[in-house]
């Protein structure tokens, strides 16, 4: 559940945000460790009235939200980072709305203040895939107006997306980083359907087959540059609210 929630959030912002010199902060915020034995499924509430509410979120999940980084691109993690859970309740200043984009710098600042989080970014070469045009040519429709898209266990969809962003989303079902090597600019409509990971009774094709048959694209194994977030310091006990 935690992984699915984070992937859905990342689908709305597939690139790592730039660090701001002076990030804004939540007006009020509470972070409480979930007592041992009372852990549960991670849940993120809607950003109503400028509020951020996360129930049973690990610090790995919260850092992923704050910096738009999936767990596999988060390095230097202590063992407890993806295990211990916290409840977060915070409110931004004023009565204005809160979106994922405007929430990120606020959450970054909160994690730095309460967990003394220190991070930096690096680019590393990792085994992955290059997204290229298949032999038969592309089968893509021009993008149209609509939302940013979604990632599900059996598909990826978007009414309008760049292929570089599609490559980032494909890393989820592929299980490895994907770099766009198509050389194609512009935005395209995507409605990709494939068999879920480890599915034994699905009638859908594999991700690799679906990409070629439905979109005229192909994943080729090769090392690709990946931007990772490295944890330099973090504490498990948040400072008092």
Q: Where are the domains of the chain?
A: 2-119, 124-227
**β-pairing, 28-33 with 51-58?**
unpaired
CA distance 71 to 116: 19
Q: DSSP 3-state assignment of 232?
A: strand
pLDDT at 9 > cutoff 90: no
Closest C-alpha to 189, from 146, 218, 129: 146
pLDDT at 143 > cutoff 80: yes
**β-pairing, 74-75 with 217-233?**
parallel
pLDDT at 26 > cutoff 50: yes
pLDDT at 22 > cutoff 80: no
Closest C-alpha to 121, from 22, 26, 15: 15
| Mean pLDDT computed over 126-143 | 94
CA distance 15 to 92: 23
Of 147 and 122, more confident: 122
**β-pairing, 155-161 with 188-193?**
antiparallel
Residue 15, pLDDT score: 38
Instruction: Name residue 188's beta-bridge partners.
Output: 142, 161
Centroid of chain to Cα 47 = 17
pLDDT at 72 > cutoff 90: no
Q: Which residues, 6+ apart, have CB-to-CB distance to 34 below 8 Å?
A: 40, 56, 84, 85, 86, 87
Residue 39, pLDDT score: 92
* Most confident region among 10-19, 61-70, 162-171, 214-223 by mean pLDDT: 214-223
- Mean pLDDT (the chain) is 87
Sign of the CA dihedral 133, 160, 102, 81?
negative
């Amino acid at each position: 559940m935690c992984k699915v929630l984070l992937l859905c959030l990342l689908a709305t912002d597939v690139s790592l945000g730039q660090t701001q010199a002076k990030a804004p902060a939540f007006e009020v915020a509470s972070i409480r460790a979930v007592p041992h034995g009372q852990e549960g499924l991670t849940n993120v509430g809607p950003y109503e009235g400028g509020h951020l509410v996360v129930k049973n979120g690990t610090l790995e999940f919260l850092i992923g939200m704050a910096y738009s980084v999936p767990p596999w691109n988060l390095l230097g993690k202590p063992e407890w980072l993806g295990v211990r859970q916290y409840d977060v309740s915070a409110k931004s200043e004023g009565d204005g709305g809160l979106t994922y984009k405007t929430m990120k710098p606020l959450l970054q600042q909160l994690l730095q203040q309460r967990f003394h989080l220190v991070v930096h970014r690096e680019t590393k070469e990792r085994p992955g895939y290059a997204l290229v045009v298949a032999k038969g040519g592309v089968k893509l429709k021009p993008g149209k107006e609509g939302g940013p898209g979604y990632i599900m266990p059996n598909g990826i969809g978007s009414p309008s997306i760049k292929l570089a962003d599609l490559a980032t989303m494909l890393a989820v079902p592929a299980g490895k980083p994907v770099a766009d090597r198509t050389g194609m600019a512009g935005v395209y409509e995507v409605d990709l359907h494939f068999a879920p990971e480890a599915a034994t009774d699905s009638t859908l094709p594999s991700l690799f087959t679906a990409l070629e048959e439905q979109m005229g694209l192909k994943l080729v194994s090769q090392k690709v540059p990946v931007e990772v977030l490295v944890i330099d310091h973090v504490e498990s006990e948040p400072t008092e609210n």
